[in-house]
Chains A and B, each alone.
Chain A
């Protein structure tokens, strides 16, 4: 389901109900909201704070503490470059450099046309295949600089 068919309030209320408005599940609640909306809009954080009856500052501190959360909208395609040790020793840095040049984006940024978001992660648990880039949830292993173009072309 997309934003066009559901309002923020619907999304948040459904998820809060699923967790029975249990404040202990805050991290899970935010994860679920983010996986529906792709990011955590301010309005939603306010609704969560009211729904769980906890201060907005606590919701904010949790959603900024974990790198997995984004308070800004993200692009249609997400590229996660693994910067873990196993990938690092096999040249992840070069792969990231190449992606940044090709996309004219720095890690953490979204392209103005909202097509790509480029992010780095510290190990996605497929270390045997390093360097790894996760493209929209699919793992690409043993990525070299010359494979970067075809990865980007694969994103329609």
Chain B
């Protein structure tokens, strides 16, 4: 326990919690302005830590500590434009802030002026946008769960309490029965955000009804899905919301012990979760006799070893027990026999973060958002070939087109949209014709893809769909635990077939063979890893069959990706011999012939590394 945690005062009733909140709100309104600096992983990679420290030093040097508050927060979502700095309460958004900009920003904070050059400019125009909520990236979002990330310091429990944190817990413990909590969650229509979309209320009920001396609540923060980082950002940016959700779940099902399973690659998430647990325990919001109610619930952290399959419920529990993370058949549900064979609730990070919201605002309010069978909002990670990459939270039912073009700002470099991959390794690729489809659990499944954890990877004309299918297969082949034959052998065989197709040795009948194997895997694999693995293949075959056919029949990769099928060539008309590519070529395959004369590329030396294509600024290298 930190020194700081020792000085936190224990709260023994909802009244004490409320009194503290009012006191905190008074204290914070004494300072007229807050400078919030994003210190999420994305912004840190762009130098966010130096910017944050710079602001702290500057405010101190100017003696403004009593008027202006400097706060470091978790990810705001718009990572593409980091480091982000927001001046509140006006919500002026500065992007790509450098330490040298600090003095100028502080100059303007007090008098309400704005530093124009640091504002977001709408691409292709000269229009600058001053306020966070007017930036197109944020405009269509509905940041119910993720919004607090931009306002609170994740290492301060006071911040969370100040903005209404733990009220749902107080309400649960003092004015609701476990049955009422479950019924409220059921009525809200909340479905799990971890991939399967299972009704959360129903899951809690079966654990509540199951027989067992001890019950457990586990928060799944494994997030093995490549391309997704919302769980990480929530755990790093607002860990108390997840703890609050866990305690409410525990109260509902009658559990007194819980675990947060975080992958070891997320050290900041581990640190912030540990800190949050210590703080909440010190304040009586976790541990024994929570808020004086007599209810006990403790939480421990377990760091995962970074195997994708360990996100699967039974594998996760095996690994929590200190065994190899292999799934088992689920003829008995983990809600009845889970961790140490006891009834266990396993929920995703985002699912749990939705719970306090539902308790506070009521199931009726919650179920007013979204579509018929998918309620509320969903956080997506919008990444790949899209202008505004980052995390977005949108109401269920929004269309893919709105996501990619209105929020994401479209495809970079005037390229053409080709596909969007949703749902991770068990999901699928959707083509342009599906862009106007509303996004929810059922629509995505119907279209041959999945919600999954919410990764959305946008691809343009330069991405090859056969390559993407192969990518997912080889990913899953590497991650398969190898316990059951359809998955172990099937994935390997399918990857071999795709390897052949990609190298130009594809044969008639390969597509049918892939379809056959897909079906075997879907029905024969033991766990979701294997049974979902065929999805990327089937969806690409469904929507992009012609690309497979070009590879097999014409021995051609239309997107110019598959190495054995392509060559790099010099477009003589465009090349003035700037020599950039000569310097970049590791194989010495390009030679100059003098000023203003196009360079020559020797195919026999070329290793197809693509370096010349990447450095040439004049479109003088083409892929065929």
Q: Which residue of A lies closest to B458 (CB)?
A: A89
Q: Looking at the complex, which of A9-17, A25-33, A71-79, A110-118 is the stretch in contact with chain B?
A: A25-33
User: Is A130 within 8 A of B324, CB to CB?
Assistant: no
User: Is B455 within 8 A of A85, CB to CB?
Assistant: yes
The minimal Cβ–Cβ distance linking A58 to chain B, given in whole angstroms, is 8
A105 in the interface (beta carbon within 8 A) = no
A37 in the interface (beta carbon within 8 A) = no
Q: Which residue of B lies closest to A97 (CB)?
A: B609
Q: Which residue of the partner chain, among B303, B305, B468, B481, contacts A69 with CB atoms under 8 Å? A: B305
User: How distant is the Cα of A145 from the Cα of B612 in the complex, in angstroms?
Assistant: 10
User: How distant is the Cα of A66 from the Cα of B481 in the complex, in angstroms?
Assistant: 10
- Asked, given contacts A28-B302, A68-B265, A69-B305, whether A129 binds B45 with beta carbons under 8 Å apart, the answer is yes
A156 in the interface (beta carbon within 8 A) = no
B381 in the interface (beta carbon within 8 A) = yes
- Asked, given contacts A84-B227, A130-B383, whether A121 binds B45 with beta carbons under 8 Å apart, the answer is no
User: Is A65 within 8 A of B307, CB to CB?
Assistant: yes
User: How distant is the Cα of A127 from the Cα of B586 in the complex, in angstroms?
Assistant: 28
Residues in A with CB closer than 8 Å to B180 are none
A3 in the interface (beta carbon within 8 A) = no
Residues in A with CB closer than 8 Å to B468 are 88-89
Residues in B with CB closer than 8 Å to A88 are 226, 468, 471
User: Is A125 within 8 A of B302, CB to CB?
Assistant: no
The minimal Cβ–Cβ distance linking A12 to chain B, given in whole angstroms, is 16
User: Is A89 within 8 A of B225, CB to CB?
Assistant: no
The minimal Cβ–Cβ distance linking A45 to chain B, given in whole angstroms, is 14
A67 in the interface (beta carbon within 8 A) = yes
B614 in the interface (beta carbon within 8 A) = yes
Bitwise, B439-469 to A at CB < 8 A (1) or not (0) is: 0000000000000000101110001000010
User: Is B322 within 8 A of A66, CB to CB?
Assistant: no
User: Is B381 within 8 A of A85, CB to CB?
Assistant: no
User: Is B306 within 8 A of A85, CB to CB?
Assistant: no
Residues in B with CB closer than 8 Å to A67 are 305-307
How many chain B residues have a CB neighbour from A under 8 Å?
60
- Asked, given contacts A24-B320, A62-B323, A122-B475, whether A141 binds B42 with beta carbons under 8 Å apart, the answer is yes
B599 in the interface (beta carbon within 8 A) = no
User: Is B45 within 8 A of A27, CB to CB?
Assistant: no
How many chain A residues have a CB neighbour from B under 8 Å?
46
Residues in B with CB closer than 8 Å to A140 are 45
User: How distant is the Cα of A122 from the Cα of B226 in the complex, in angstroms?
Assistant: 6
Q: Which residue of A lies closest to B300 (CB)?
A: A25
User: How distant is the Cα of A53 from the Cα of B478 in the complex, in angstroms?
Assistant: 31
Q: Which residue of the partner chain, among A65, A83, A141, A144, contacts B45 with CB atoms under 8 Å? A: A141
Q: Which residue of the partner chain, among A26, A61, A98, A128, contacts B611 with CB atoms under 8 Å? A: A98
User: How distant is the Cα of A25 from the Cα of B301 in the complex, in angstroms?
Assistant: 10
Q: Looking at the complex, which of B384-392, B399-407, B527-535 is the stretch in contact with chain A?
A: B384-392
A152 in the interface (beta carbon within 8 A) = no
A21-58 contacts to B (CB < 8 Å): 23-28, 31, 58
Provide the main secondary structure of the chain A interface: helix
B58 in the interface (beta carbon within 8 A) = no
User: Is B390 within 8 A of A25, CB to CB?
Assistant: no
The minimal Cβ–Cβ distance linking A52 to chain B, given in whole angstroms, is 9
The minimal Cβ–Cβ distance linking A130 to chain B, given in whole angstroms, is 6
Residues in A with CB closer than 8 Å to B42 are 126, 128-129, 141
Q: Which residue of B lies closest to A120 (CB)?
A: B478
Q: Which residue of B lies closest to A67 (CB)?
A: B306
User: Is B614 within 8 A of A31, CB to CB?
Assistant: no
The minimal Cβ–Cβ distance linking B396 to chain A, given in whole angstroms, is 22
- Asked, given contacts A85-B457, A126-B45, A127-B383, whether A27 binds B304 with beta carbons under 8 Å apart, the answer is yes
Residues in A with CB closer than 8 Å to B226 are 83-88, 122-123, 127
Q: Which residue of B lies closest to A28 (CB)?
A: B303
User: How distant is the Cα of A119 from the Cα of B324 in the complex, in angstroms?
Assistant: 22
User: How distant is the Cα of A107 from the Cα of B283 in the complex, in angstroms?
Assistant: 47
Q: Which residue of the partner chain, among B472, B479, B586, contacts A101 with CB atoms under 8 Å? A: B586
A interface residues, Cβ below 8 angstroms from B: 23-28, 31, 58, 61-62, 65-69, 83-91, 94, 97-98, 101, 121-130, 132, 138-141, 144-146
Interchain residue pairs A-B with the least CB separation, the first 4: A66-B305, A84-B226, A123-B226, A128-B79
Q: 8 more A-B contacts (CB under 8 A) besides A27-B322, A128-B381?
A: A25-B302, A65-B481, A85-B421, A123-B226, A126-B79, A129-B80, A129-B389, A141-B42
18 contacts between A and B (CB under 8 A): A27-B303, A58-B323, A65-B305, A68-B305, A85-B421, A85-B455, A85-B472, A89-B468, A90-B384, A121-B265, A122-B226, A125-B266, A127-B227, A127-B228, A127-B229, A129-B42, A144-B614, A145-B584
